[in-house]
Structure 1
Amino acid sequence: MKTIRKLKESTNNFVSSWTKFVIKYKWSVLIGTFVLTLMLGLQGKMNFDGDYHVFFSESNPELEAFDALQEKYTKDDNVILVLTPSNGDVFTKLNLVAIENLTAEAWNTPYSSRVDAITNFQHTKAVEDDLFVDDLSYNSIDKSEEEIEKIKQIALKEPMLVNRLINSNGSVTAINITVKLPGENSAEEVPEVMEYVRNMVDDFNNKYPHFDIHISGMVPLNTAFFEASMKDMGLTAIMMLIVIITTLILTRSIQSTISTLTVVIFSIVSALGFIGLMGIKLTPPSSVFPTMILTLAVADSIHILITMLQKMRKEGLNKIDALKESMRLNFMPVFITSLTTVIGFLTMNFGDVPPFWDLGNIVAFGMTMAFLFSTTTLPALMTILPFKIKKRNNNPTKVLDWYTVFAQFIIKYPVRLTFLSIFTIGLFTYLASKNSFNDEFINYFNESVKFRSDTDYISENLTGVYNVEFSIGSGEEGGINNPKYLKKLNEFEDWLYTQPEVVHVNTFSEVARRINRSMHGDDELFYTIPETREEAAQYLLLYELSLPFGLDLNNQINVDKSETRVTVTLNNIDSPSMIAFSERCENWLYKNTPDSMHSIGVSPMLMFSKLGFRQADSMFKGNIIALILISLVLMVALRNIKLGFLSIIPNVSPVLIGFGIWALYKAQINTGMVVVFGMTLGIIVDDTVHFMSKFLRARREYGFNARQAVEYAFKTVGQALLTTTAVLITGFAVLSTSSFALNSYMARITVVIIISALIIDFILLPSLLVLTASKERVKRKYTSLIYYR
Structure 2
Amino acid sequence: MNYKKYSYLVLLLIAVLTVASVYFVARLRFDYNFDNFFPKGDPDLEYYFTYRAKFGNDNDYLLIGLENNKGIFDRTFLTRVDSLTRFLQRQPHVENVLSPTTVKNPVIEQFGYFEIPYLHVSEPERYSQDSANIYNTRELIGTLFSEDARSVSLFVQTTDDLAKGPSDTLIAALYDKLAELQLTDHHIAGKALAQSVFIEKMKVELAIFMSASILLVVFFLWITFRTAWGVLVPLVVVLLSVLWGLGVMGLFNKPIDVMTVLLPTIMFVVGMSDVIHILTRYVTEVSQGTEKLRALKVTLREVGMATFLTSLTTAVGFLTLLTTAIVPIRNFGLYTAIAIALAYVLAFTVLPAILLLIKRPNPVRARRVDLNWPILLRRMLRFILRNPKAILGSSAAIVILSLVGISQIRVDTTLLEDLGDKDPIVLDFRYFEEHFSGVRPFEMHLVAAPGYSMYDKEVLQEIEKIEQYLYSSYGLNFISSPATVVKTLSRAQNGGLQDYFILPVSERELQQVTRRLQALRKRSELRAVVTTDQREGRLTGKMSDIGSARASILNDSLRTFIHRNINPDILQTRLTGSAMLLDKNNEYVTNNMMQGLLIAFLVIAVIVGLIYRSVPMVIISLIPNIIPLLMIGGIIGFMGINLNVSISIIFTIAFGIAVDDTIHFLSKLKLELMKGKSLPYAVKRTFISTGKAIIITSCILVGGFLTLVFSTFDATFYVGVFISITLLFAVIADLYLLPVLILLFYRRGKK
**TM band (smaller chain):** over 0.9
Matching residue's letter, 1:144: P
Matching residue's letter, 2:280: I
Q: Give, in whole Å, the separation in 2 of the partners of 1:643 and 1:53.
A: 45
Summarize the Cα distance change of 1:688–1:398 in structure 2 as closer, same or farther, 3 Å threshold: closer
Contact 1:56 1:353 in 2 (8 A): yes
Give the Å deviation of 1:534.
4.9
Contact 1:586 1:598 in 2 (8 A): no
Q: Give, in whole Å, the separation in 2 of the partners of 1:249 and 1:612.
A: 44
Matching residue's letter, 2:132: Q
Matching residue's letter, 2:118: L
Alignment: residue pair count:
747
Contact 1:556 1:565 in 2 (8 A): yes
Give the Å deviation of 1:561.
1.6
- Whether 1:171 and 2:150 are equivalent positions in the alignment is yes
Deviations 1:353-389 (A, max 9, x none): 1111111111111111111111111122122223433
SS in 2 for 1:445: coil
Matching residue's letter, 1:155: I
Q: Give, in whole Å, the separation in 2 of the partners of 1:320 and 1:167.
A: 78
- Whether 1:690 and 2:677 are equivalent positions in the alignment is no
Q: Normalising by the residue count of structure 2, what TM-score does the alignment of the two structures yield?
A: 0.93
Q: 1:261 aligns with which of 235, 240, 243?
A: 235
Q: 1:42 aligns with which of 23, 30, 37?
A: 23
Q: Give, in whole Å, the separation in 1 of the partners of 2:662 and 2:474.
A: 52
Matching of residues 313-352 of structure 1 within 5 Å: 313=287, 315-352=288-325
Contact 1:506 1:566 in 2 (8 A): yes
Contact 1:411 1:770 in 2 (8 A): no
Contact 1:131 1:543 in 2 (8 A): no
Give the Å deviation of 1:332.
1.1
Give the Å deviation of 1:440.
0.9
Give the Å deviation of 1:76.
5.7
Contact 2:282 2:299 in 1 (8 A): yes
- Whether 1:672 and 2:651 are equivalent positions in the alignment is no
Give the Å deviation of 1:24.
6.7
Aligned position for 2:710: 737
Matching of residues 410-421 of structure 1 within 5 Å: 410-421=384-395
- Whether 1:52 and 2:34 are equivalent positions in the alignment is yes
Matching residue's letter, 2:127: I
Matching residue's letter, 2:7: K
Contact 1:440 1:605 in 2 (8 A): no
Contact 1:478 1:560 in 2 (8 A): no
Deviations 1:176-213 (A, max 9, x none): 111123x5xx6xx333133223322322322224x411
Contact 2:134 2:140 in 1 (8 A): yes
Contact 1:555 1:565 in 2 (8 A): yes
Summarize the Cα distance change of 1:260–1:470 in structure 2 as closer, same or farther, 3 Å threshold: same
Q: Give, in whole Å, the separation in 2 of the partners of 1:441 and 1:85.
A: 24
Matching of residues 480-495 of structure 1 within 5 Å: 480-495=454-469
Matching of residues 509-588 of structure 1 within 5 Å: 509-522=483-496, 526-542=500-516, 552-588=525-561
Matching residue's letter, 1:751: S
- Whether 1:433 and 2:407 are equivalent positions in the alignment is yes
Q: Give, in whole Å, the separation in 2 of the partners of 1:662 and 1:389.
A: 48
Contact 2:474 2:558 in 1 (8 A): no
Aligned position for 1:112: 94
- Whether 1:289 and 2:263 are equivalent positions in the alignment is yes
Summarize the Cα distance change of 1:489–1:604 in structure 2 as closer, same or farther, 3 Å threshold: same
Q: Give, in whole Å, the separation in 1 of the partners of 2:470 and 2:2.
A: 75
Contact 2:417 2:715 in 1 (8 A): no
Summarize the Cα distance change of 1:639–1:265 in structure 2 as closer, same or farther, 3 Å threshold: farther
SS in 1 for 2:235: helix
Give the Å deviation of 1:428.
0.8
Contact 1:93 1:148 in 2 (8 A): no
Aligned position for 2:75: 93
Aligned position for 1:246: 220
Contact 1:74 1:554 in 2 (8 A): no
Contact 1:49 1:226 in 2 (8 A): yes
Q: Give, in whole Å, the separation in 2 of the partners of 1:647 and 1:284.
A: 34
Matching of residues 455-466 of structure 1 within 5 Å: 455-466=429-440
Q: Normalising by the residue count of structure 1, what TM-score does the alignment of the two structures yield?
A: 0.88
SS in 1 for 2:446: strand
- Whether 1:161 and 2:161 are equivalent positions in the alignment is no
Deviations 1:212-270 (A, max 9, x none): 11111122233344334323422223322322222222322221211111111211121
Query: Which shifted more, 728-737 or 197-206?
Result: 197-206
- Whether 1:73 and 2:47 are equivalent positions in the alignment is no
- Whether 1:384 and 2:364 are equivalent positions in the alignment is no
Contact 2:39 2:584 in 1 (8 A): no
RMSD over aligned CA atoms reads: 2.8
Deviations 1:372-421 (A, max 9, x none): 11111112212222343343789x99686221111112122223322321
Aligned position for 1:144: 124
Give the Å deviation of 1:547.
11
Q: Give, in whole Å, the separation in 1 of the partners of 2:449 and 2:102.
A: 34
Give the Å deviation of 1:79.
3.4
Contact 2:474 2:554 in 1 (8 A): no
Matching residue's letter, 2:602: I
- Whether 1:597 and 2:578 are equivalent positions in the alignment is no
Aligned position for 2:687: 714
Q: Give, in whole Å, the separation in 2 of the partners of 1:137 and 1:284.
A: 43
Q: Give, in whole Å, the separation in 2 of the partners of 1:280 and 1:119.
A: 44
Which structure 2 segments of 5+ residues have no match?
none
Which structure 1 segments of 5+ residues have no match?
1-19, 780-789
Give the Å deviation of 1:746.
2.2
Matching residue's letter, 1:176: F
Aligned position for 1:471: 445
Give the Å deviation of 1:621.
2.9
Give the Å deviation of 1:129.
6.8
Deviations 1:690-736 (A, max 9, x none): 11122232332251332x22222221111111111111111211123
Contact 1:88 1:171 in 2 (8 A): yes
Q: Give, in whole Å, the separation in 1 of the partners of 2:148 and 2:452.
A: 38
Give the Å deviation of 1:548.
12
Identity of aligned residues (%): 21
SS in 2 for 1:119: coil
Q: Give, in whole Å, the separation in 2 of the partners of 1:736 and 1:572.
A: 26
Matching of residues 497-516 of structure 1 within 5 Å: 497-499=471-473, 501-516=475-490
Give the Å deviation of 1:541.
4.4
Q: Give, in whole Å, the separation in 2 of the partners of 1:279 and 1:399.
A: 46
Q: Give, in whole Å, the separation in 1 of the partners of 2:563 and 2:542.
A: 21
Give the Å deviation of 1:771.
0.1
Contact 2:67 2:151 in 1 (8 A): yes
Query: Which shifted more, 157-166 or 452-461?
Result: 452-461
Give the Å deviation of 1:102.
1.0
Q: 2:603 aligns with which of 620, 629, 648?
A: 629
Contact 1:73 1:556 in 2 (8 A): yes
Contact 2:237 2:351 in 1 (8 A): yes
Aligned position for 2:583: 609
SS in 1 for 2:300: helix
Q: 2:107 aligns with which of 125, 129, 132?
A: 125
Summarize the Cα distance change of 1:328–1:68 in structure 2 as closer, same or farther, 3 Å threshold: same
Matching residue's letter, 1:744: F
Matching residue's letter, 1:405: R
Contact 1:415 1:771 in 2 (8 A): no
Summarize the Cα distance change of 1:278–1:190 in structure 2 as closer, same or farther, 3 Å threshold: closer
Deviations 1:57-105 (A, max 9, x none): 5422332232222222224643334333342411221122111111111
Aligned position for 1:7: none
Aligned position for 1:783: none
Give the Å deviation of 1:769.
0.6
Q: 1:642 aligns with which of 596, 611, 616?
A: 616
SS in 1 for 2:417: helix
